[in-house]
């Protein structure tokens, strides 16, 4: 049975949107495993635009949905169109967009809030008991989605893991090549570029995350 997976993108580019390598590796692995994928993104302005050559902020304005379409080759929908009942799982690649556009974690840290449409969709997957995969900085949002006690990883960054704990999460240190699973909540997390020093590093954990998320979708098959 073909599994349908929703992927939330947060723009295009590591410093102000979705991490492109993480997003592409995720989409590639899902396709290799025979999953049917639909990308979504919130139709909102980006927090800001970063020149990825210089690292400097520019005076441009960009839209998260429009920028996400670059990665999805145009095949992306407004997150308001996402219906949890049509999907078996949800995956959110990282990149600063997860902390700047899908939430305000980059600015507010442990006092952050998640963008309302993103939160509503993620909570719907959680409440339906459907597996969710979060990678890189995205697991910083886990406690906001699942509430206190959720188990996740962002690797071993002290500042970020401390913020996760302050929000009520349980942080487990994790190697870039591995995943952490909250079995009760069917949440799978991996550090990806929070630790990766190469695209192969990132891919090893991401592939495991995608594989495990898809395995968990079969737990309900009869």
Which residue among the candidates 12, 39, 112, 136 is catalytic per the annotation? 136
In DSSP terms, 92 is beta-bridged to 134
Is 130 in contact with 138 (CB distance < 8 Å)? no
Tell me how long the chain is. Answer: 222
Distance in angstroms (rounded) separating the CA atoms of residues 166 and 143 = 9
Return phi, psi of residue 126, to 5°.
Answer: -60, -45
18/9 Cα distance (integer angstroms): 6
Considering only CA atoms, which of 134, 141, 72 is closest in space to residue 102?
A: 141
Residue with tokens 């009520």: 168
Instruction: Please tell me the distance from the alpha carbon of residue 181 to that of residue 212, in angstroms, as a whole number.
Output: 9
Instruction: Say whether 112 is catalytic.
Output: no
Residues with a known catalytic role:
136
């Amino acid at each position: 049975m073909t599994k349908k997976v929703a992927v939330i993108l947060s723009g295009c580019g590591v410093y102000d949107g979705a991490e492109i390598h993480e997003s592409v590796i995720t989409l590639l692995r899902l396709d290799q495993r025979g999953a049917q994928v639909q990308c979504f993104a919130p139709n909102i302005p980006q927090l800001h635009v970063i020149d990825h050559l210089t690292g400097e902020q520019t005076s441009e304005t960009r839209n998260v949905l429009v920028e996400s379409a670059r990665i999805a080759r145009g095949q992306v929908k407004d997150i308001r169109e996402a219906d949890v009942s049509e999907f078996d799982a949800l995956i959110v690649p990282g990149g600063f967009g997860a902390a700047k556009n899908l939430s305000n974690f980059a600015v507010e840290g442990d006092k952050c809030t998640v963008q309302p449409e993103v939160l509503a969709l993620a909570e719907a997957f959680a409440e339906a008991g459907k597996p969710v995969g979060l990678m890189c900085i995205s697991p910083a949002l886990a406690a906001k989605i699942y509430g206190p006690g959720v188990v996740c990883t962002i690797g071993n960054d002290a500042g970020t893991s401390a913020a996760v704990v302050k929000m009520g999460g349980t942080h487990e240190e994790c190697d870039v090549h591995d995943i952490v699973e909250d079995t009760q909540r069917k949440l799978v997390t991996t550090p990806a570029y929070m630790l990766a020093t190469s695209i192969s590093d990132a891919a090893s954990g991401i592939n495991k995350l995608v594989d495990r998320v898809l395995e968990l979708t079969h737990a309900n098959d009869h």
